Amino acid sequence: MRVLSGIQPSGKLHIGNFFGAMKQHLELQNEDEALYFIANYHAMTSLHDKERLARNTHDVALDYLALGLDPKKAIFYRQSDVPEVCELTWILSTITPMGLLQRCVSYKDKIERGLSADHGLFAYPVLMAADILIYKSDIVPVGKDQKQHIEVAQDIAQKFNNIYGEILVIPQPRILESTAIVPGLDGQKMSKSYGNTIEIFANEKTIKQKVMSIVTDSTPLEEPKDPAACKILALLRLVATSEEIAEWEDRYRKGGVGYGHTKKRLVELLTEYFRPYREKRKELAQNLDYVEQVLQDGAARARILARKTLDEVREAVGLKYDPSKFGTEV
Ligand code: ADP
Ligand code: TRP
């Protein structure tokens, strides 16, 4: 089985990215053939600042490696180091129905939030399909918000195969229901673009500030509270043992516990959880040649696979042909 996933370097990575997607990526690198990449072409749909794009790309590389991505196990690369994916995007675009892209909720959401309705933003799922299909990926581990994009990739692959023959592999999403949508400080989905995140590599002081700002209702301390409705508990579930969670739930139902108590515990556990990774990241930041080498080696390995599929595709669609077949008559 070949596993593939990508993360956009559109801002600092947060615990929603980690628990929703990256944690699965890291687990799967031990079981399957894995490719993970930094989706910097995709980030250009929301970021038009060369310094920030470069800085974020660098940061995501350090983050992933610090969190345990092992370049001996997984192929790790920058999307833009395999430009073949852009050619496949064009070829796939020529068979992608407009309606398929018009139905994508992520595009509509982004426009509503003020991003400009550029062609790149609209065609984003076709580039994502090319990312997946060029490596003949079987499994794509992501958070729930990306499910529709993988369905688009499935539809495009199916249509391509119907027209040109069985070349592309139909990918399957892999979504962990328990962490499919990690809530942010405001209770909405945590997202880089909503300003409601807790960053993975934030220091203790920032974690504290952020957790304390989580929006809660005004139920008084002594009154019972609904554990299922509490966003602090939802975050605590990511880092506490099930025994501890059961205790908190019990205390919520009985009353006498305030949101301040769970917030305090959340700060402690989050700080502890990510402490070793913060140390590792500091070490990597002293060794940037190594990080760059990892990315370049990853791209070289990825490119061999990408080139192979692209050659098959070029042949299948009629971009590569043998002129001698056409004879000499005019
Ligand atoms: P963001 O919304 O912060 O820009 P991305 O779109 O770059 O995040 O997502 C990178 C990966 O992290 C994707 O697989 C996405 O599904 C996952 N992800 C992002 N936010 C969350 C969240 N709040 N809960 C669960 N998974 C998430
Ligand atoms: N669109 C994904 C996101 O925002 C990132 C991404 C780009 C991706 N290409 C991909 C994810 C291919 C999985 C597979 O999170």
- As a whole number, mean pLDDT of residues 23-38 equals 95
The closest ligand to the CA of 10 turns out to be 1
Q: Do residues 174 and 241 share a domain? A: no
- If asked whether residues 113 and 214 sit together in one domain, one would say no
Supply the DSSP string of 201-252, one letter for each residue: T--HHHHHHHHHT-------TTS---GGG-HHHHHHHHHS-HHHHHHHHHHH
The number of domains in the chain is 2
Q: Which of 135, 149, 150 to mutate to test the pocket of ligand 2 (most atoms within 8 A of CB)?
A: 149
For residue 21 and ligand 1, the question of a CB distance below 6 A is answered with yes
Query: Is the CB–ligand 2 distance for residue 20 below 6 Å?
Result: no
**pLDDT value for 164:** 98
Q: Ligand 2 within 6 A of 126 CB? A: no
Rounded to whole angstroms, how far apart are CA atoms 118 and 60?
25
Q: Same domain, yes or no, for 21 and 163? A: yes
Whether residues 140 and 7 share a domain: the answer is yes
Domain assignment of residue 177, yes or no: yes
Q: Are residues 292 and 275 in the same domain?
A: no
Task: State the pLDDT confidence band at 18, using cuts at 50, 70 and 90.
Answer: very high
Q: Which domain holds residue 213?
A: 201-283
pLDDT score recorded for residue 216: 87
Q: Is the pLDDT of residue 117 over 90?
A: yes
Inform me whether the pLDDT recorded for 115 exceeds 90.
no
Q: Is 142 in the pocket of ligand 1 (CB under 6 A)?
A: yes
Pair 272, 298 in one domain: no
Q: Are 128 and 79 in contact (CB under 8 A)?
A: no
Segment 69-108, tens digit of pLDDT: 999 999 999 999 999 999 999 999 999 999 999 999 999 9
Q: Whose CA is nearest to atom 3 of ligand 2?
A: 7
Please tell me whether residues 103 and 156 are part of one structural domain: yes
Residue 228, domain CATH: 1.10.240.10
Q: Which tokens go with 310?
A: 């692209």
Is residue 191 assigned to a domain? no
pTM over 0.75: yes
Query: Ligand 2 center to residue 253 CA distance, Å?
Result: 40
Active site residues: 110, 189, 192
Write out pLDDT tens, residues 284-330.
999 999 999 999 999 999 999 999 999 999 999 999 988 888 888 76
Asked if residue 171 lies in contact with residue 139, where contact means CB atoms within 8 angstroms, the answer is yes
Q: Indicate if 8 and 107 belong to the same structural domain.
A: yes
CB 170 within 8 A of CB 33: no
Local structure of 35: helix, strand or coil: strand
Instruction: State the residue for tokens 């944690």.
Output: 23
Residues 6+ apart with CB under 8 A from 134: 82, 84, 85, 88, 305, 306, 309, 310
Is there an atom of ligand 1 within 6 Å of 4 CB?
A: no
